[in-house]
């Protein structure tokens, strides 16, 4: 009888362990290494603060004039498909790269999403950032482009005078007309949309003007609001590539401190008051900015099994 109870207890614990792991979520951080021609890399974390690399390159870039993969941005849609967009070249391209995957291992055929062909003098298409509107079941992609002599500028060169543009799509086959997303009267790049609640959105952006090159905040009521009131900076200068993830009741804003060659992070619960937690995070050297997405533990387990050492 005692052996039967012990055996039953063992099986109950085993099934409890399996059940917990199947529902557990972990954080995946998309990444690239300079010079950005190798392809997509991943970091993972169980607590949102401490990160490790998953060895290997998971998607080699094939698109654009320079065939780069910079700024890989990822979101998960309603059908558990992961969608990825990225910067394909420093200059010359009129679009960004796109691919999709169910498991983050096997990817669809890459395709170029041409979003600035209607502006023949466009210098670049930088840092496309995905946002999934779960209310409208609609994907938004926001990026930065320079159209020379179109907007007021500071002391930066005309070919570095960026504004934000966007398109929307439900299926990555048909896209809305390209529209101006944000003109804050200064050069702006690297925008991230964060939804806190219905009619409560935050935009994290980089002021790319000289000498600023820091991160700022704006608030809106919907994903494509005007975001016309921009905060004072909440970071030091020479930072870029923000991404935001929620850990417990707090939002962690990660960003690339590119002159210091380290990653920094701020913690906030209101996007007004910020705590510098750079000393509390750990990120492997060489990681360059992407975005963070929560995935089932099974996805991480399979990635580790398939890791290319």
pLDDT digits (tens, 9 = 90+) for 24-57: 999 999 999 999 999 999 999 999 999 999 999 9
Q: What pLDDT digit, counting tens, does each position of 198-242 carry?
A: 999 999 999 999 999 999 999 999 999 999 999 999 999 999 999
Q: What domains appear along the chain, each with residue ranges and CATH number?
A: 27-304 (2.115.10.20)
Q: How far apart are CA 213 and CA 237, in angstroms?
A: 5
145: nearest Cα among 113, 112, 119, 169: 119
Q: What pLDDT digit, counting tens, does each position of 187-201 carry?
A: 999 999 999 999 999
pLDDT value of residue 16: 43
Do 203 and 231 touch, CB atoms closer than 8 A?
Answer: no
Does residue 20 register a pLDDT over 70?
A: no
Do 252 and 266 touch, CB atoms closer than 8 A?
Answer: yes
Q: How far apart are CA 182 and CA 180, in angstroms?
A: 6
């Amino acid at each position: 009888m005692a052996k039967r109870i012990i055996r039953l207890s063992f099986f109950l614990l085993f099934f409890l362990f399996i059940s917990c792991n199947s529902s557990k979520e972990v954080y995946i951080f998309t990444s690239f290494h300079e010079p950005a021609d190798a392809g997509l890399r991943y970091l993972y974390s169980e607590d949102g603060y401490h990160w490790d690399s998953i060895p290997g390159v998971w998607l080699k870039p094939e698109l654009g004039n320079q065939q780069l993969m910079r700024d890989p941005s990822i979101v998960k849609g309603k059908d558990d498909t992961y969608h990825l967009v990225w910067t394909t070249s420093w200059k010359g391209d009129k679009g960004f790269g796109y691919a999709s995957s169910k498991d983050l291992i096997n990817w669809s055929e890459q395709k170029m999403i041409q979003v600035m062909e209607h502006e023949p003098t466009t210098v670049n298409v930088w840092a496309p950032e995905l946002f999934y509107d779960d209310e409208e079941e609609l994907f938004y992609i926001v990026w930065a482009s320079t159209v020379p002599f179109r907007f007021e500028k500071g002391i930066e060169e005309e070919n570095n005078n960026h504004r934000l543009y966007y398109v929307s799509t439900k299926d990555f086959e048909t896209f809305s007309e390209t529209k101006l997303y944000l003109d804050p009267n200064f050069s702006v790049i690297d925008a991230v949309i964060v939804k806190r609640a219905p009619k409560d959105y935050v935009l994290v952006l980089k002021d790319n003007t000289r000498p600023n090159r820091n991160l700022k905040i704006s608030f809106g009521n919907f994903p494509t609001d005007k975001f016309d009131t921009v905060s004072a900076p909440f970071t030091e200068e020479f930072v870029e590539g923000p991404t935001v993830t929620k850990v417990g009741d707090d939002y962690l804003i990660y960003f690339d401190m590119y002159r210091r060659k380290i990653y920094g992070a701020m913690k906030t619960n209101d996007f007004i008051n910020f705590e510098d937690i750079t000393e509390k995070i750990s990120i492997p050297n060489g990681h360059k900015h992407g975005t963070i997405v929560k995935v089932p533990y099974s996805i991480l387990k399979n990635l580790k099994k398939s890791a290319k050492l």
